[in-house]
Amino acid sequence: MRKTTILIAMLGCVAIASADAKRQVRYIGLHPVAKSEGGGICYIEGPHVHVYEADKLQYRDHHGANFFVGDPVAYGYDGPKKAYKGHHPIHVEVVVGTPEPDTEWCYLDGPHFHTFAPPEGPEFTFKGEAYFYVAEPPTVYLEARPAFVGINAIYTPLVYARPSIVIDAPVGWIGVRPGFGVVVGGPAVNVVTPGVVVRGPNVKVRAGIDVRVVVPPPPSVRVNVGVGIGIGGGVKVKSKRGRR
Amino acid sequence: MRPAWIVLGVLASVPACSKEEGATASEGTSAKTTDSPETAAKQDKPLTPKRVAVVDAWKKEGLTATLAAGSGFGKDCSTGTVDKLEVVICEYGNADEAKQAEQPGLDWVGTTTGAAWASGSLVIAVADRKKSDPHGKTINQLMKSAPK
């Protein structure tokens, strides 16, 4: 009896405490609304607060506020948007209009949308209505990649209208750079499948498990395919049996 | 007898579990003070030109703004509503003071969706306590249209 009473009392206290656990969380820029709050998109562009948390894969810290680096279209965004293919930097200060420089990286594989265009310059090539990152990726991009590439596991199952990019990627695109090919996090599974050749450079790989794209001199791209790979639109896959 | 004492003890500790509640509740109601003679006199005070400019900008955007002098998070504030959002505009001596008052503005917002930002020597704070703006479109309109 005594133990039960204590247990009930403690549970009641915990319930009240968790109800009070609501705290302000800072955001900057447009982002998805938490499902618990009805879902959809929050269209507030400036700094603001909500009482729900931001995850660590789709958001980056921008001077104490959470900045969304995912694809808002996946959550119902219906405003102006720009198409990108593959990983690329985001110059957050340009997007949100703050003075301090802050470059974050988008690790979404394949075609996706953002609400913003990149700043003009040699970093990006605009081809086929999409932006491709064609500059030399810095070490910081590679170092942070294992921590953030898991974002693709969030987007892979989401059904929404992704941009259709059917043209060949430009020379220097990060997706076919030697040493910078798509490497999706997770336990390394190197299952070599002979006879599977992806004719590059327009490669789109969606996967939740380790995928390594090894790039010999262009134009051929050899792919060592791991378990559970989905290869989406814009990909020409050839095997001994012919085109898939 | 002992279980009864335990239950009483736990009940007594419940307010301690929820001690933040009081803080946010008072933040939420700070704009709705009862009309003491002093407050009534304050409410008759016309809005300053800077505040009028903000309200006019919102009205131009088609927003319904009603503001009067009142207590907010500063010494010289106007409170009211824009559509169904609670709004406070506080005026400071200069832009630096206003910038520093953004945090008190966010404290006034409390545990709900909202924003507080400096606009020159003003700090504007908005709180969606009624959850009338679930996608933030009105808050965004209000932030973007306020004079910079």
To the nearest whole Å, the CA of B24 is away from the closest chain A CA by 10
* pLDDT cut 70: percent of chain B above it: 70
Who contacts B87 (Cβ-Cβ below 8 Å, separation ≥6)?
B65, B67, B79, B80, B81, B124, B125, B126, B127, B142
A20 touches chain B (CB under 8 A): yes
To the nearest whole Å, the CA of B111 is away from the closest chain A CA by 6
Residue A121 pLDDT greater than 50, yes or no? yes
Could you report the predicted ipTM of this complex, rounded to two decimals? 0.74
pLDDT of residue B108: 97
* pLDDT cut 90: percent of chain A above it: 60
In this structure, what DSSP letter does residue B31 have?
Answer: T
In this structure, what DSSP letter does residue B48 have?
Answer: P
Q: For chain A, how long is the longest CA-to-CA vector?
A: 76
A36 touches chain B (CB under 8 A): no
Most confident region among A55-59, A224-228, A238-242, B46-50 by mean pLDDT:
A55-59
Give the phi and the psi of residue A242 in degrees, each rounded to 5.
Answer: 115, -165
Token couple for A170: 């430009």
Of A22, A40, A46, the CB nearest to B117: A46
Cα-based torsion angle of the residue sequence A60, A66, A68, A69 in order, rounded to the nearest 10 degrees = -10
Q: Are A229 and A197 in contact (CB under 8 A)?
A: no
Mean pLDDT of A10-18: 49
Token couple for A118: 């990149």
Q: Are A168 and A202 in contact (CB under 8 A)?
A: yes
Q: Name the residue among A5, A4, A43 with its Cα closest to residue A27.
A: A43
Of A23, A37, A46, the CB nearest to B111: A23
- B94 vs A175: CA distance, rounded Å: 50
Q: How confident is the model at residue A114 (pLDDT cuts 50, 70, 90)?
A: very high
Interchain contact, A45 vs B140, CB within 8 Å: yes
Mean pLDDT of B81-110: 97
Counting every residue written for chain A, the total comes to: 244
The separation between CA B79 and the C-alpha centre of its own chain, rounded to angstroms, equals: 7
Residue A212 pLDDT greater than 60, yes or no? no
Against a cut of 0.90, is the pTM above it? no
Q: Tell me the residue type at A158.
A: L
Interchain contact, B136 vs A17, CB within 8 Å: no
